[in-house]
Amino acid sequence: MADVEGNPDPLRILDRAGLARAVGGRDALVCLVQDTVDAEVIAAGAALRVIATMTITPEQIDLAAATARGIPVTTIPPMVTEATADLALALLLAVARRVVEADGLVRAGVFPGAQSCRLEGLGVSGKTLGLLGCGRVGRAVARRARGFGMRLLYTDPRPLAPAEEAALDLHPVALPELLGEADFVSVHVPLGPATRHLVGAGALARMRPTAYLINTSRGPVVDEAALAEALAAGRLAGAALDVFEDEPRVEPRLLGMPNVVLTPHIGSAEVELRARMADVVVDNVLAVLAGRRPPNCANPEVFGSREG
């Protein structure tokens, strides 16, 4: 039997000080993608034996600080691919067909009529989709987009095998060509030094003024200030974002733009998936507390040469 304490307010992300207070005297910390577990938080958890994150990569955790303390940091396996791809396509459709704007008008008592020009958007079928990154999620989006008859371009530092490109009807191109030809650019790269602000002012300037940007990867891949400037100047038709540079903060200018669809990082928000993710996290925690090597560990070196 364990004594479990959770964040009592799911609508409020704990800041560093709150998280540091919460870990005091605790054996295990279970954290989510929005929780920043830095060296200060880790130091506050003098009794910590495991940090378990419900993310595939522990980018929000100071892995070096945890390793120096001999604390295992556990993750989940790549299991959110299909859910994230579903959301990416949902956002693409929503922003292109102005679904959120239309919903707001109906709720406000405004009904322009079935053939009014008021809510004309961009068609999706037959358009060109550019995949910025073609890993698991990028390929899953490609599979869905084929059902809309879309032309599929992609750029990735690790090109797919020719047989896989052919199976998905994917065409590899350089980034400038992708940006210049795509009606929709969907971002699916991991966050790292090479991809931070990969979609910045320069990249946005290469996109068509009729094009849309969709991001379901990581917020800092897109320069939000540059995006807001491009949208305000009419150099881009719209954007749909599920992730943000400084979550939960969103670039204020984006909040007032009707051609921007915003969701609060809900790529994995499926009931069955979240249950499976929680099971993995619990299994990781229980393994460490029982003295066993956990199934998913980001810093296995803390176990040395021990087996188990």
| Active-site annotation, residues | 218, 247, 265
Query: What is d(CA 244, CA 247) in angstroms, rounded to the nearest whole number?
Result: 6
Query: What is d(CA 49, CA 288) in angstroms, rounded to the nearest whole number?
Result: 7
- DSSP states of 195-262 as a string? TTTSBSHHHHHHS-TT-EEEE-S-GGGB-HHHHHHHHHTTSSSEEEES--TBTTB--HHHHT-TTEEE
Cite the beta strand spans of 11-89 per DSSP E: 28-31, 50-53, 73-74
If one counts every other C-beta atom within 10 angstroms of the C-beta of residue 40, the result is 14
Which among 175, 252, 249, 242 is positioned nearest to 206, based on CA atoms?
A: 175
**What are the structure tokens assigned to 85, written together?**
């791809």
